[in-house]
Amino acid sequence: MTKIKHLLASCLLLCFLLTSIAGAQTLLHNANGYTSSDDGLQQFSVLVIGEDGKIIATGDEQLAEQYANATQVDLQGKTVLPGLTDAHAHVYSYGLLKHQLNLAGTPSLEQAVASIAAYAGQKPHARWILGRGWNQVLWPVQEFPTASDIDAAVADKPVWLRRIDGHAGWANSAALKIAGIDEDTPDPIGGKIIRDDNGHATGVLIDTAMRYIQKHVPENSKADVQAATISAVDALLAEGITSVHDAGIDQMNAEVYLSMADDGLLDMRIYVMIGGAGEVLDAIGSPIREYGNDMLEIAAVKIVSDGALGSRGAAMIEPYSDDAENRGLPFWSQSELDDMVAKANRMGFQVGVHAIGDLGNRMVLDAFDKAQGGKPSPLRNRVEHAQIITPQDIPRFAKLGVIASMQATHATSDKNMAEDRIGPDRILGAYAWRRLLDSGAIIANGSDFPVELSNPFHGLYASVTRQGRDGEPEGGWYMDQALTREETLHSFTLAAAYSANQEKRLGSLEAGKWADFIVVDRDYFTVPASEIDDIQVLQTWVAGELKYTRADSADAR
């Protein structure tokens, strides 16, 4: 019987593919469908897709009678949701990590060093050992590692490993030597070389100081970038993500995306933020909209205002509660930030600025206020992360029409150290989803992968429960800031589309929009909250074409 089911499933999949080629209408019925809309949550059981890959109509089973000649697909009561958007992530870095050393979740320094040694043994001909993911906060001794720690495992070639948040790097002595870093090397603006009591570099570099080493790392080719991108897209489609806002890419990434769109190789929608208001922005010149049959847009600029909380680089108005001499690292003066925002906006580009600390967020809001003349802008500028905000700055998001582009799993990952960093008073303005939403702000949700795991259902779960996947803490961490299930789905769909000026084409399952949707194995709105992060994607559709089918989901087809 199982073999018969799989054979029938394969035949149906072939039918889907032939349907998309022939351009016929497709009618999916017997669905347990939900979608956000401007009027709130809507339910449906029938979804009709036109030959152009856009939705003709949604409704109840009576609608099916009007489309008797369409290809019929029985979803057998399975739950259908709009395709999920990750509104802040890093596609190439995610794909690249599948080919480099991944230290995410490593429980101790000793285990990290053992992993480095094992990986180096598997790559005897590699010129550099590269990777990412270490997090000293998870280790028994929560201190930064040193070059000598790596030297004990690999001393004959350079090793360079980015921290989980990408805002610090860990090098061995060989890498420090190649970069020429010594006691006379200055700390750059917005960065710091961690040193011992004698002034010698220990091996950890914070934020802009990482450039000392990064510029010596061999560059990948366009073929490498495309391969990593395809690997990432395939994995993301399997998790129900149909659109990603790629937060900060370089010229090569942009060229690869354009080439892939030309060749029909983009299977998910990419909304690109160019990294910085410099040469790449000048080269692009003006926003690129709805490119490659609406699979690609290059319409935003990503700027970084400060560092991260875990490495104490987030720019704070007052010193850190656990480091009285440290206020973090602003990357720019206010006038420099103002000029970059103004330049990008004048060129027609939306601006998304990374801001973690309360000073970083205030500087960004001030820059937007100046560029927008104190009023909302049709470009819908964004604060990426918006993690720690003073109470008086929270209402400014709605007043200025600034999107709060936040990542739910950052709260549940940071809960073990955030209050230590900023204390019990400032924490009330941190990860303050409810306060922002109630003030009238728009929240677009994402993950910041590969900083966090890419699975969007982890974010849906974190937003609703304010808990880690281990169920801790009981009752949720500052549960008064949780969102409802409806609000959370909205933040991953229609609000995310709105944050990219795409809400008329994407983000909900409504007539005239692209048929981007997913079929999942349980009802997001009725399962216990503790099971939201366990939801599995059975199918992913983009523009009315089936792009992913779970291998063991024959019963869902």
Give the tokens for residue 43: 């339910």
Residue 166: its pLDDT value, please? 86
In b/e form, how buried is each residue of 241-263, taking b as 16+ CB within 10 angstroms? bbbbbbbbbeebbbebbbebbee
Assigned token pair, 101: 């050393």
pLDDT of residue 511: 97
d(CA 214, CA 166): 12
> What SS3 class is residue 263?
coil
Q: Closest Cα to residue 433, out of 465, 401, 456?
A: 465
Q: Contact, 308 vs 452, CB < 8 A?
A: no
Other CB atoms within a 10 A radius of the CB of residue 8 amount to 12
Q: For tokens 């956000």, name the residue.
A: 36
Q: In the prediction, which pLDDT does 1 show? A: 37
Contact 352, 360 (CB under 8 A): no
CA dihedral 140, 457, 94, 547 (to 10 degrees): 160
CA–CA gap between residue 381 and residue 396 (Å, rounded): 12
User: In the Cβ-directed half-sphere of 402, how many Cα atoms lie within 13 Å?
Assistant: 34
| CA proximity to 260, closest of 544, 99, 268 | 268
Residue 47 and residue 81 in contact, taking contact as beta carbons nearer than 8 Å: no
Q: What is the pLDDT of residue 12?
A: 44
Would you state the pLDDT for residue 98?
83
pTM of the predicted model as reported, rounded to 2 decimal places: 0.88
- Cα 47 to Cα 28: distance, rounded to the nearest angstrom: 5
Asked if 364 and 387 count as a contact pair (C-beta separation under 8 A), the reply is no
Instruction: Supply the pLDDT for residue 17.
Output: 41
Residues of the chain with pLDDT under 50: 1-23, 555-557
DSSP label at 424?
A: H
Strand partners, 385: 355
What residues form DSSP beta bridges with 333? Answer: none
249 in helix, strand or coil? strand
Tell me the residue type at 387: Q
The pLDDT assigned to 167 comes to 87
Neighbours of 475 (CB within 10 A): 9
Query: In the 3-class helix/strand/coil scheme, how is 481-549 assigned residue by residue?
Result: HCCCHHHHHHHHCHHHHHCCCCCCCCCCCCCCCECCEEEECCCCCCCCHHHHHHCCEEEEEECCEEEEE
What's residue 553's pLDDT? Answer: 66
d(CA 37, CA 241): 19
